[in-house]
């Protein structure tokens, strides 16, 4: 079927589906009038029950912590899937030489390099800051992990590949990523052993507003941060590797 024909055939059912969805959404409350009990109840009780200031974090890592465990494993599975799909095959020699590269490789710039040396640790520190303050500010392991990943992407872009590799050795990062994912499951089982219930919040709740508060929430949060950051590094690494020339990989 040609794309043009397909596009024309698409319009009538698309209009029907749009009508269906709008008909459904017309049954919702208007924008800005959230009715339901779930969010209101949690807003009211979370701070008292768990000594958190950021209720969304409490939802993520305590009330609905099991969801987050599974979401974290979706992340882990996708990275594992990328590893499987990009795995080296027997006889997979990539023959390249200068003539094959059709773009001019720009000369490396010292200025950019020095800026990276400055910004990369700064960004990474900001990522850690975001992650550690999960229950206090709109931060968390997921957000911090994504920022950490971008810090490493910045390192790749500004620095020489071999320098970048020193920041993140392959095997260590793989192990760290798996450890982060596994640790969440281990915490769940540990709490099950401690209290009989999976992912119960068994650690002392501490004082509202301090970094060490809310029991297991910061612990789980740090595991997630580690896993997401390591996961992004591994993922980016696979993509960056696709463009390297063989000789440079050896170094």
Partner 1 sequence: MPATLLPLAVAAPLLLAAALAPLSPIAPRRLADACATLCALFVALLCGALAVETLHVPVHYWFGGWTPSHGVALGIEFAVDPIGAGLAAFVALLVALAFAFSWWYFDSAGTHFHVLMLIFLAAMAGFALTGDLFNLFVFFELMSVAAFALTGYKIEEEESIEGAINFAITNSLGAFLVLIGIGLLYGRTGALNLAQIGAGVAHARPDGLLVAAFVLLLTGFFVKGAVVPFHFWLDDAHAVAPTPLCVLFSGVMVQLALYAVARIFWEIFAAPFSSHEAPIRLLLVVMGTITALTGGIMAFNQHHIKRMLAFSTISHSGLFICAIATFSALGIAAGAVFVAAHGLLKAALFMGSGVLLQRTGSVDAVKLHGRCTHLTPLALLFVIGGFALAGLPPFGIAAGKTMLETAVRDAGLAWLAIVFAVASALDGAAVLRVAGSVFFGLGHMSDDRRSSTAGNEKKETSESRNDTLPTMILTAYAALVLCLAAGTVPQFAGWAERAGAIFLHGARAPFVPTLALHDALLNLAVALGAGLLALAALYLPRYKIFSAPAAALRALHSGAFPDYALWMIAGVAVYGAFLVPIAAFAARGNP
Partner 2 sequence: MTLYLPYALVVWLFLVGVFGIVRSRNLIHAVLCLAVVQSSTYVFLIAIGFKRNAGAPIFSADVPVGTPAVDPVVHALTLTDIVVATVVTALILTMAIQVYRITGTLDPEKLRPMSG
Q: Which stretches of the chain bind partner 2, using CB under 8 A? A: 3, 6-7, 10, 14, 17-18, 21-22, 25-26, 28, 30-34, 36, 38-40, 42-44, 46-48, 53-60, 64, 67-68, 71, 74-75, 78-79, 81-82, 85-86, 137-138, 140, 142-143, 145-146, 209, 228, 231-232, 235, 238-239, 242
Nearest distance, CB of residue 38 and partner 2, angstroms = 5
Beta bridge partners of 213: 206
Contact status, residue 23 vs residue 185, Cβ threshold 8 Å: no
DSSP conformation class of 96: -
Nearest distance, CB of residue 83 and partner 2, angstroms = 9
Distance from C-alpha of 207 to C-alpha of 23, rounded to nearest angstrom? 48
Q: Which residue has the tokens 């520190």?
A: 125
User: What residue 188 binds from partner 2, partner 1, none (CB within 5 to 8 A, per partner kind)?
Assistant: partner 1
Other C-beta atoms closer than 10 Å to the C-beta of 141 total 29
Task: Phi first, then psi: give them for residue 114, nearest 5 degrees.
Answer: -65, -35
Task: Phi first, then psi: give them for residue 71, nearest 5 degrees.
Answer: -65, -40
User: What residue 143 binds from partner 2, partner 1, none (CB within 5 to 8 A, per partner kind)?
Assistant: partner 2
Nearest distance, CB of residue 98 and partner 1, angstroms = 28
Q: Report angle CA 189, 190, 196 to the nearest 5 degrees.
A: 75
Nearest distance, CB of residue 131 and partner 1, angstroms = 20
If the CB atoms of residues 92 and 97 are measured against partner 2, the closer one turns out to be 92
Span near partner 1 by CB under 8 A; candidates 60-68, 101-109, 128-136, 153-161: 60-68
- Which residues, 182 to 201, sit near partner 1 by CB under 8 A? 182, 185-186, 188-189, 192, 195-201
111 binds partner 1 (CB under 8 A): no
User: What residue 146 binds from partner 2, partner 1, none (CB within 5 to 8 A, per partner kind)?
Assistant: partner 2
What does the block give as tokens for 70? 């599974």
Query: Which residues make Cβ contacts (< 8 Å) with residue 149, sequence separation at least 6?
Result: 228, 229, 231, 232, 233, 235, 236
Other C-beta atoms closer than 10 Å to the C-beta of 184 total 24
How many residues lie near partner 1 (CB under 8 A)?
A: 70
9 binds partner 1 (CB under 8 A): yes
Which stretch of DSSP H or E encloses residue 122?
A: helix 110-132
- Which residues, 68 to 107, sit near partner 1 by CB under 8 A? 69-71, 73-74, 76-78, 80-85, 87, 89-90
């Amino acid at each position: 079927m040609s794309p043009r024909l397909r596009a024309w055939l698409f319009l009538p059912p698309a209009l029907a589906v749009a009508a269906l969805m709008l008909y459904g959404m017309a049954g919702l409350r208007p924008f800005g009038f959230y009715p339901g009990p779930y969010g209101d109840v949690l807003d009211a009780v979370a701070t008292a029950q768990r000594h958190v200031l950021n209720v969304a974090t409490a939802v993520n890592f305590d009330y609905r912590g099991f969801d987050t465990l599974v979401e974290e494993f979706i992340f882990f599975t996708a990275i594992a899937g990328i590893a499987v799909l990009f795995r080296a095959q027997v006889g997979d020699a990539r023959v390249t030489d200068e003539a094959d590269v059709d773009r001019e490789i720009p000369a490396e710039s010292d200025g950019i390099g020095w800026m990276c040396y400055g910004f990369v640790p700064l960004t990474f520190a900001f990522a850690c800051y975001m992650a550690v303050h999960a229950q206090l500010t709109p931060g968390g392991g997921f957000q911090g992990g994504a920022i950490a990943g971008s810090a490493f992407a910045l390192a790749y872009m500004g620095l020489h590949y071999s320098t970048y590799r020193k920041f993140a050795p392959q095997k260590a990062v793989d192990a760290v990523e798996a450890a982060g994912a596994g640790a969440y499951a281990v915490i769940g089982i540990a709490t099950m052993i401690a209290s009989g219930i999976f992912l119960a919040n068994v650690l002392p709740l501490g004082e509202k507003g301090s970094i060490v508060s809310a029991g297991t929430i910061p612990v789980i949060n740090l595991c997630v941060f580690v896993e997401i950051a390591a996961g992004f590094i591994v993922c980016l690494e696979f993509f960056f590797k696709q463009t390297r020339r063989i000789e440079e990989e050896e170094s």
